Structures are given as structure tokens and as C-alpha cells.
Amino acid sequence: MKLGHMSVPGDCNRISPILSQVGNKWAALTVLVLSEKPKRYNQLRREIETISQRMLTVTLRALERDGLVQREVFADKTPPQVEYRLTPLGETLVGPLFALCEWSALNCDDIERNQAAYNMAQTPKAKVAG
């Protein structure tokens, strides 16, 4: 597949759903938080402050389904505890996500200025009474 001047292995039909999943803000934040160390559900919920309980559950299940996160149950504890950790495949995603975060941080001022200029240009000018 050609994307501009780059050649990318694979085809769009297979790549698009993967990009949608790993590019999702909740999935990206969850992977980045888990990159520090394995965490329990409530630890994740506290660290990703704006995520709802339902969205965290949905996100963790999707990441587990994709093989990026492993869910481990410690049944010997009372009550049983569940811990989430990145799989080796999930760990390979951390570098690209950090690079994207770094790029975003370096360019957010320019992007916000561009958005404001674009929005201003799209706003209809008030008609001047003549």
C-alpha cells in the first residue's frame, strides 16, 4: 500500500481497525499508564481521571482481545484481585505512543493557533450597515 511517498506493508482493510483501536484516546492512555507497571482496575481508574467505569472496562476488554493487555486474577486473595499488564506485543506500542504524545506536546500551540485562525475565517462577517 502506498501512502503518499511511503510504502506501508499490509492493506487498508486490515490496518484501519487496528489504527482505530490503538489510536483511540482511552486505549492510548491505558497503554501509557500500564507502561509504568502492572496495575489493578481501581489504580487505572484513578490515574485516568476522566474515564468512566464502563469505558475503562470496554477499553481493557478490547486491549485484551487484541493481545495488548493481559488480565491476571489472583484468586488466592480475599476478595480476589485482578491486575492488568502489557503483553510483549503491548510493550511494542509504547514507543510509538510516546512519540505521538511528544509530537503533540511540541506542536499543540501551533495547532491551536491554526484552529483558531481557521474558525475565525469560517465565521461569517457581520454585515456593515451602509
pLDDT in tens, 111-121: 999 999 999 99
Global confidence as pTM: 0.79
As a CATH number, domain 2-122 is 1.10.10.10
Residue scoring higher pLDDT (56 or 18)? 56
Q: Where are the domains of the chain?
A: 2-122
Cβ-Cβ contacts under 8 Å for 67 (sequence gap 6 or more): 87, 89, 90
How far, in Å, CA of 127 to CA of 130, rounded? 9
Query: Could you report the per-residue pLDDT of 24-40, keeping only the tens digit for each?
Result: 999 999 999 999 999 99
Q: Rounded to 10 degrees, what is the CA torsion of 103, 106, 109, 115?
A: -20
